[in-house]
Amino acid sequence: MQSALIESVGQLLQQAASELVLPRFRLLRTEDISEKSPGEIVTVVDRAVEAMLIPALTALRPGSRVVGEEGVSDDPALLDGLDQGEVWVVDPIDGTSNFVHGREDFGIMVALLRDGEAVMAWIQFPLTGSIAIAERGGGAYFDGERLQLAARDPQRPTMLRGIVKTSFMPEPMRSTIDARAEQHVQQRVAGTQSACGDYVLSARGQLDFSLYWRMLPWDHAPGTLLLTEAGGHVARHDAGAYRASDGGKGLLVARSREIWEQAHRLLL
């Protein structure tokens, strides 16, 4: 791994957590929370973390730029050219709803894209200080421990255990997939209400698969790199390769290609 950059970004996320996130956890005022679009909330902490990370990350890689969730909310044109050069993709608080309601599952997510492909990723959990990191070709780690997935847990039945997120899907797709999941998924896990939590569970072998509809780059670029470097498989619903810069809808991730194909056959 390029340990210097991995370490520098990790320290930066720890600083953001300690200085900006933790002091406001369970202490937000009503005026600190707003709705940026129907059903989508943002806090002053989301904006503060993103504002801190923009100059700090670009300083680490001269010539790079930052595409953050909150910046795109204000200016969607920032997504243009995501496949050109080095781009930092930032989710300043992934799981904002959890953060607002005092629940513990939220994190800061960052990925470095090079010509549209994620080459490094960080998922930091402010409350515990834990961090997951990955580098393309260099492996995935959680708190310094290498993550390596087995194709299937021999103690688990052949039916699948996973997350099926259909809330943003159009009908009749939503109802069809819900019905198939009811029939074929042994345990449909509710998920963590955050991509950061879902992906770390997956990369640590606690889920067989996760099915998503929305493919916002800050939600999936860090986690998909973490999962694939741990040995998992990621592809779009049509089995096409996933690239963080491509946009579109429909993503299926799994602990192995074998399980990806099983989940795809049963659900899609």
Please report the beta strands in the chain, taking only residues with DSSP state E, as ranges in sequence order: 33-37, 40-43, 65-68, 86-94, 107-114, 117-124, 131-135, 139-142, 145-146, 160-164, 185-189, 209-214, 233-236, 249-254
The predicted structure's pLDDT at residue 137: 96
The predicted structure's pLDDT at residue 247: 85
pLDDT for 32 beyond 80 = yes
Highest mean pLDDT among 36-45, 94-103, 178-187, 191-200: 94-103
pLDDT for 6 beyond 80 = yes
Q: What values do phi and psi take at 28, rounded to 5?
A: -70, 140
Domains of the chain (ranges, CATH numbers): 3-146 (3.30.540.10), 160-267 (3.40.190.80)
pLDDT tens track for 34-86:
998 888 899 999 999 999 999 999 999 999 999 999 999 999 999 999 999 99
Model confidence band, residue 155 (pLDDT cutoffs 50, 70, 90) = low
For residue 193, the number of C-alpha atoms closer than 13 Å in the C-beta half-sphere is: 13
pLDDT for 154 beyond 80 = no
pLDDT for 189 beyond 90 = no
**In 3-state terms, what secondary structure has residue 128?**
coil
Cβ partners under 8 Å of residue 252, min gap 6 = 209, 210, 211, 212, 234, 235, 236, 237, 260, 263, 264, 267, 268
Model confidence band, residue 15 (pLDDT cutoffs 50, 70, 90) = very high
pLDDT for 188 beyond 80 = no
Beta-carbon count within 10 A of 22 CB: 15
> What percentage of residues in the chain have a pLDDT greater than 90?
86
Q: Give the DSSP letter of residue 17.
A: I
Length of the chain: 268
Q: Give the DSSP letter of residue 140.
A: E
The predicted structure's pLDDT at residue 167: 87
Contact 212, 236 (CB under 8 A): no
